[in-house]
Structure 1
């Protein structure tokens, strides 16, 4: 019988880390155990652990705040993952790093492929791209897994916000010209574990991959499905991004081509509507 893969997860309270904690043989580290603003400390933790694989599920995700807090965003999203990847590479163990659609400029309307040219619009995307480059340059077994529009029963996310607002109001205006794939954190966690195991067996599968929920939809369309599944009657008015200004520019096209992930690891795009039903059930119990 094959021994279970021992996985060390950087991150403990985030959406994906909270889901990774459900898996056996997974150890999740909080900020006190691995300070993401101290890349050297993250490197040391990995160098000294007895894990068979590393998953980085921690990140600075405050997209708007990053515009004024570039130093912290770069430390957490670029420098810390680079140090983690170097430590994992030194030990020859897989490093799985979660990245984002924000590394692209959001132009066009066709799904982004892993090899497409990047062009982040703000600090958050730039910092995440730095982590991707560091993870790849380390040279060890690795997978950069870009995802989008993450939601779960944990933390702050669009589903929980809409659920709350829908119970308070009978009408909302929501952006309809940003298109992407909502992705359940539970499915991202499962994908990360599957990929880590595959890399342990076959390091040649190292590379950049995409993983997002299907079908692609606008934020307004996503909100309508949330309200429908919650049994809430809310009149949603579509608005363009230009009518909802934010400090950080959002990509309009967040569609991700996930075909290489399916080919390499046998992981299909999850139906986010089923994932939404599961999250709402979790929130209601």
Structure 2
């Protein structure tokens, strides 16, 4: 198996590199944005033609949701044009592209969990640019797997878990939004899912290309998620006290980009096709000392 990974310095990218380094029989190249600008089609074609991967995993994205409201051109360049370049290159050599997308492609006003064929009505520049990327990838390369995920966290980079632990060191109490719901998703579990799908593709199993949802269970609010983080941190002696948190509404904490109220993704399809189970996010919080710093 030969894998070309883009976005190697992001949360999912770093987890993938760690796992690929310990995967026997796999040759890979992992590139960050300084090593490969995916918006440069010539550079993309050059590396893909040279390396001839079976699978291209695109973990690169412009994920600064609020900044995207002003950085519109940059968002579309990275989230639409870059994936399209990779997909076109994959199609030229008969490779498969695995592309990561987001719950933000939905309006977030559905009752219950979102499934793959639900209507996409993004409410932010980030969501719109990611949806445009999905469409571009699907049109450019038949052999595509698009993974929509949500609420990603890990030991790497910036994310909700690390922010909560950092803020708890300097504050006595926090106010956390309690009326937005979703499935926290550990980046290491996303990496495992991507590698499991890649293996199935290379082994030429009967793979159904298209869109899949993958996120964590159980579904919770941001307030519930924060509460679990702080309880675990106290039990693991990462924090000396359980942080006091106050539930607030979205209206009390306005942001430049509109967040989906409902980010619950149904992961049934990916389980049926690949045997992949939802991310066990509570388990991923059992070693919080690695999230510090």
TM-score of the two chains, using structure 1 as the length reference = 0.94
Q: Which moved more, 1:200-209 or 1:124-133?
A: 200-209
Report SS of the residue matched to 1:168.
coil
* 2:87 is the alignment partner of 1:78: no
| Counterpart position of 1:7 | 3
Which runs of 5 or more structure 1 residues have no equivalent in the other structure?
Answer: none
| Counterpart position of 2:248 | 239
Which runs of 5 or more structure 2 residues have no equivalent in the other structure?
Answer: 235-240
| Counterpart position of 1:18 | 14
Q: How do 1:112-131 and structure 2 match up within 5 A?
A: 112-131=114-133
| Counterpart position of 2:57 | 55
Checking the alignment, whether the CA contact within 8 Å between 1:141 and 1:203 is kept in structure 2 is no
| Counterpart position of 1:99 | 101
Checking the alignment, whether the CA contact within 8 Å between 1:170 and 1:233 is kept in structure 2 is no
Q: CA deviation at 1:284?
A: 5.7
| Counterpart position of 1:209 | 212
Q: How do 1:246-257 and structure 2 match up within 5 A?
A: 246-257=255-266
Q: CA deviation at 1:21?
A: 0.3
Q: Deviations over 1:117-164 (max 9, x none)?
A: 101001100110111011111233110000000000100000000001
| Counterpart position of 2:238 | none
TM-score of the two chains, using structure 2 as the length reference = 0.92
Q: Deviations over 1:191-226 (max 9, x none)?
A: 111112222314641010000010000001000000
CA distance in 1, matches of 2:253, 2:40: 35
* 2:154 is the alignment partner of 1:152: yes
Checking the alignment, whether the CA contact within 8 Å between 2:177 and 2:249 is kept in structure 1 is yes
CA distance in 2, matches of 1:134, 1:211: 20
| Count of aligned positions | 280
Report SS of the residue matched to 1:140.
coil
CA RMSD of aligned residues (A): 1.5
Q: Deviations over 1:82-121 (max 9, x none)?
A: 1101110111111100000000000023110011110100
CA distance in 2, matches of 1:39, 1:241: 40
| Counterpart position of 1:258 | 267
CA distance in 2, matches of 1:48, 1:257: 38
CA distance in 2, matches of 1:169, 1:100: 31
Q: Which moved more, 1:129-138 or 1:31-40?
A: 31-40
Checking the alignment, whether the CA contact within 8 Å between 1:64 and 1:248 is kept in structure 2 is yes
* 2:282 is the alignment partner of 1:273: yes
